[in-house]
Structure 1
């Protein structure tokens, strides 16, 4: 006699585990259903709760039942669209897509995943909730902006993978991919700056300067200098604060790298980084206070998100510096770690700081030498950024930033001297803390 129960799954789950999976699937379904309910859709809170549970049960029972859950959800979507068309309200494509995403997330919950389905559903809820904002943003995109976005994608996705890996040339001094990353970063930071400016106005340019400084402060300064040449005087104040924010972000990033990679090396540089960050913050606050209270923000018109010729030009400059730095290091060997740190700061202060931390961890150099090298690399990056500001031909901006960077540099030198004086006590304290942490 045929036993129909043999077709059913016979898995035994721990009660707490399966209950947790069902609860997560239900909550994620309700998250989407709440948004749909607030918009007055026919498929709302309860429907999406059931779809989330359905997917979770299907994923837990096995592949066949997961496919059945997907099929049943597709049938629900068909019925929903037919009902909507009959009532003259048009199709419910967005709600149908949301139901499909919900059942798939439920299946992931049934399989035991937690973070992944939660992330998917949060993104889906954001897409539904930001309907008006996304629609307004898309309607405001010009043809030139679309071309710039496609060009940036070609630079990163098409050209970069086609370049040869590693160093090439007779002396292995040229790294095509590393040079092209420079072009991508300059173009990408410019594009990010443009998007934030379009959303938030001049505040967006200042915000993007800080985030750009976390990646590469010199590239961020290049973008700001380019905007000054395009816009003129209205952008000078924004550029001044943007350069200070990029510098502060660079200093914070370098200090954090030392803390993570070689904490004991930070003993010889902590005071320097703290004083430089303090001076940067004070100058930024002073600039903000100088703005007229209740004044009308400057009218700034940016034509394109970024300039490819400018990105290629500065990419060639950084490639040249890379080659010169490599030749110099080969010629002089290990003549001085500080000299190498200065050269490294021209290319990437983050790389120079990471290299210093690695050498200190290996015992090749003392922690104090590594900390001082990190500060020197930061000094070089600060001084190098002024070269790009010089090309704006704005005396007030050049004079203001030169004085600001001089003040930051003096604070750093004072910090280095103070750190060397207090280094023995700080090292003992760090060693004591490290011993307490060991089991």
Structure 2
């Protein structure tokens, strides 16, 4: 294991040192450390770590080594400043980090050191892009970043994680009682979890913020396509709401938003398939065709729309980079959170009233709010032999279809008319093919 640690330390030093030497060559500024020196610094940290942990039994050697490397880095900084009149300290700080990474390689943090080393190399390589992005940041955008950090890191941990029912809210209990709902039904409506609710708000805000960053660095077309791909792995519904809000604010440029939503939805079908693979491999053969067709059609539709707008850049829908007023819209995210809770509430009531009238109805209703839960449930029940594979596969496709219809409805309710029209046409084609394959082949 120690040999592997030394080898990884050498490779990390070489990777980061190669980047630093490349930078020195192109800037014509000689620093104290290139590829060889960084390899030696990383190896120095690994050797001292090995001796401290395996021979000496304390960390004094590592501390001394850290001080020595820091002094060399400090001396290099002053020499460079006096010689070239440059006050940059990136290489010197990187050298100290590489020493620590070398120590981590033999101290039981091998995977962590590899991840951190690659991230350090990436940050150094993308220097110009990072500076370009930072220079474009406005004060109100910086405030928005701080606001997002507050709602994600301060508010979220303070919220209770327990589930509340209407019986816990006297006013809501009275309203539902007057509507004819019995206490027994209300006891089953234990579905509001403040922590999960706020987590969805953060999710929507985070996706909007991710789209903002990607658009700032890559441009509208590439940025939103990647946002859809990443968002589809997390929540295609959240992507739909975020993009619907953007289509309202940028009515002349709806194509990037449509592409993001369609790619996110296509990715969600692939995600469902992966969930089935994990839970019940025997069910994969029955859901692979409909889900695969729906996913492929989604990607093809998004790519076709991208090419169509690329060939006709002078049409009304321009694909220029969009300038946002702020990285994310917290009010749109809150609207989504409320909408999400309402859908869960309505679906739960309908499911309770329907009773055991059919798994298909329950799947459709559950899919209105969450397709992942019903997917995992059906795959598990099928694997345990409690329901047939055909019923499980059909239920999963129905849940995915109802979830897709909800996203189409959100496009009309929250988005611009042309945005909603594009989404509806593409989703109609996808659902027709997907449901058709269910009835023909299942």
Bin the TM-score by the shorter chain: 0.7 to 0.9
Residue 196 of structure 1 corresponds to which residue in structure 2?
Answer: 214
Alignment of 1:24-103 (within 5 A): 24-38=8-22, 39=24, 40-62=30-52, 63-87=59-83, 89-91=85-87, 93-103=89-99
State the Cα deviation string for residues 284-337 of structure 1 (Å, max 9, x = none): 344234335273653433212221111111211111222233333334433322
Distance 1:76 1:218, change over 3 A: same
Contact 1:214 1:246 in 2 (8 A): yes
Contact 2:16 2:38 in 1 (8 A): yes
Contact 1:189 1:223 in 2 (8 A): yes
1:298 aligns with 2:319: yes
1:145 alignment partner, one of 129, 141, 162: 141
Contact 1:269 1:415 in 2 (8 A): no
1:369 aligns with 2:391: yes
1:124 aligns with 2:113: no
State the Cα deviation string for residues 204-247 of structure 1 (Å, max 9, x = none): 112212221221112111111111110112x2222332232122
1:268 aligns with 2:290: no
- The DSSP-based 3-state class of the residue aligned with 1:401 is helix
Deviation at 1:156, TM superposition (A): 1.4
Aligned mates of 1:232, 1:36 — CA distance in 2: 45
Greater displacement, 85-94 / 158-167: 85-94
Distance 1:142 1:29, change over 3 A: same
Distance 1:292 1:92, change over 3 A: closer
- The DSSP-based 3-state class of the residue aligned with 1:197 is helix
Deviation at 1:18, TM superposition (A): 4.7
1:382 aligns with 2:372: no
- The DSSP-based 3-state class of the residue aligned with 2:254 is helix
Residue 177 of structure 2 corresponds to which residue in structure 1?
Answer: none
Contact 1:213 1:250 in 2 (8 A): yes
2:105 alignment partner, one of 106, 109, 124: 109
1:159 aligns with 2:155: yes
- The DSSP-based 3-state class of the residue aligned with 1:391 is helix
Aligned mates of 2:417, 2:70 — CA distance in 1: 65
State the Cα deviation string for residues 51-106 of structure 1 (Å, max 9, x = none): 11211110000122222211221221232234334435344532221121111111
- The DSSP-based 3-state class of the residue aligned with 2:235 is helix
Distance 1:257 1:396, change over 3 A: same
Paired residues in the alignment total: 403
Aligned mates of 1:277, 1:53 — CA distance in 2: 48
Distance 1:114 1:236, change over 3 A: same
Aligned mates of 1:159, 1:319 — CA distance in 2: 19
Distance 1:207 1:20, change over 3 A: closer
Aligned mates of 1:88, 1:271 — CA distance in 2: 64
Residue 215 of structure 1 corresponds to which residue in structure 2?
Answer: 234
Unaligned runs of 5+ in 1: 1-16, 421-439
Aligned mates of 1:82, 1:398 — CA distance in 2: 60
2:374 alignment partner, one of 352, 359, 370: 352
Aligned mates of 1:82, 1:281 — CA distance in 2: 54
Aligned mates of 2:16, 2:230 — CA distance in 1: 31
Unaligned runs of 5+ in 2: 25-29, 53-58, 168-186
Residue 298 of structure 2 corresponds to which residue in structure 1?
Answer: 280
Larger Rg: 1
TM-score by length of 2: 0.85
2:249 alignment partner, one of 217, 230, 244: 230
Aligned mates of 1:286, 1:94 — CA distance in 2: 44
Residue 246 of structure 1 corresponds to which residue in structure 2?
Answer: 264
- The DSSP-based 3-state class of the residue aligned with 1:291 is helix
Aligned mates of 2:236, 2:339 — CA distance in 1: 16
Distance 1:403 1:123, change over 3 A: closer
State the Cα deviation string for residues 123-176 of structure 1 (Å, max 9, x = none): 222222222221121111111221221121112111111111121232333211
